[in-house]
């Protein structure tokens, strides 16, 4: 997933950059988000980004620039009862695909997108979910000890989520090396749907070995 940062301050130059980008964009997987902050008198922040996800094709949205994503507002993308899965960016689609396969296996995961890291989940949706599921998996495309570790620290320490765990929390990240070139490099380096399914199933096996016997 690639990102281009465009400084925005509602100046004529910034708006012209956005308009030029929209008019000339010919890629696939278009997403454009304006982030606003209550902490800045509801004024726009200095970050505008779009992401281009390879191999995905979507229709051009009709409301570009007309919706807001507040900083620190996490979102529950799928409600579930068994495992809380927190993810972001390109791995969200992978987690959502894995959720469908896990449902066939009798496992119902809750998916949360924190949307921003600073500030992080001001409404404490992550710990509220953890109170319900008692199991936590963080999935990210960063290397071990990167953003997934930050999310884990925020949920367990700052939101005191540790007290609601009934098993070891887990992270699922990219491998600890530079991503090789091409789609094969992404598949073998970054988390896949199979990786998510196996990780969640293993967590359920730890808690309910009779109901969820080992896959291998």
**Per-residue pLDDT reduced to its tens digit, 113-164:** 998 898 999 999 999 999 999 999 999 988 899 999 999 999 999 999 999 9
pLDDT of residue 29 exceeding 80:
no
Dist. CA 6–CA 73, nearest whole Å: 22
Tokens 């994503």 correspond to what residue?
A: 69
Whether residue 213 contacts residue 204, with contact meaning beta carbons closer than 8 Å, is answered with no
Quote the pLDDT of residue 120.
93
Lowest mean pLDDT among 12-21, 41-50, 201-210: 41-50
Dist. CA 92–CA 77, nearest whole Å: 9
**Where in the sequence of the chain do the CATH 3.40.50.920 domains occur?**
75-207
The percentage of the chain sitting over the pLDDT mark of 90, rounded to a whole number, equals 50
* Selection from 83, 78, 158 nearest residue 124 by Cα: 158
Question: The sheet that has 75-78: what strands, in order across it?
Answer: 75-78, 109-113, 83-87, 136-139, 170-172
Dist. CA 216–CA 119, nearest whole Å: 41
Would you place residue 50 in the very low, low, confident or very high pLDDT band (cuts 50, 70, 90)? very low
Would you place residue 60 in the very low, low, confident or very high pLDDT band (cuts 50, 70, 90)? low
| Mean pLDDT of the chain, nearest integer | 79
Q: Which residue has the higher pLDDT, 25 or 85?
A: 85
Q: Which residue has the higher pLDDT, 20 or 208?
A: 208
CATH architecture of the domain 75-207 equals 3-Layer(aba) Sandwich (3.40)
**Per-residue pLDDT reduced to its tens digit, 80-111:** 999 999 999 889 999 999 999 999 999 999 99
**Per-residue pLDDT reduced to its tens digit, 174-212:** 888 776 776 666 777 889 999 999 999 999 999 999 999
For range 21-44, the mean pLDDT = 46
Question: Taking the CB of residue 129, how many other CB atoms lie within 10 A of it?
Answer: 27
């Amino acid at each position: 997933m690639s990102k281009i940062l465009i400084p925005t301050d509602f100046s004529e130059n910034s708006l012209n950059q956005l308009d030029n980008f929209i008019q000339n964009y010919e890629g696939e997987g278009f997403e454009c988000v304006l982030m606003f902050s209550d902490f800045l008198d509801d004024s726009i922040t200095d970050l505008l980004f779009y992401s281009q996800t390879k191999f995905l094709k979507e229709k051009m949205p009709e409301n570009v620039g007309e919706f807001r994503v507040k900083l620190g507002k996490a979102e529950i993308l799928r409600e579930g009862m068994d495992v809380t899965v927190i993810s972001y960016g390109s791995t969200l689609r992978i987690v959502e695909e894995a959720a469908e396969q896990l449902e066939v296996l009798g496992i119902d995961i809750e998916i949360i997108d924190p949307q921003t890291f600073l500030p992080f989940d001001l409404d404490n949706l992550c710990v509220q979910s953890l109170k319900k599921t008692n199991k936590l998996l963080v999935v990210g495309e960063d290397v071990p000890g990167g953003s997934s570790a930050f999310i884990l620290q925020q949920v367990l320490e700052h939101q005191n989520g540790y007290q609601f765990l009934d098993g070891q929390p887990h992270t699922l990240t990219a491998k600890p090396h530079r991503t090789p070139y091409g789609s094969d490099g992404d598949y073998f380096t970054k988390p896949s749907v199979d990786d998510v399914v196996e990780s969640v199933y293993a967590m359920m096996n730890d808690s309910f070995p009779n109901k969820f016997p080992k896959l291998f």
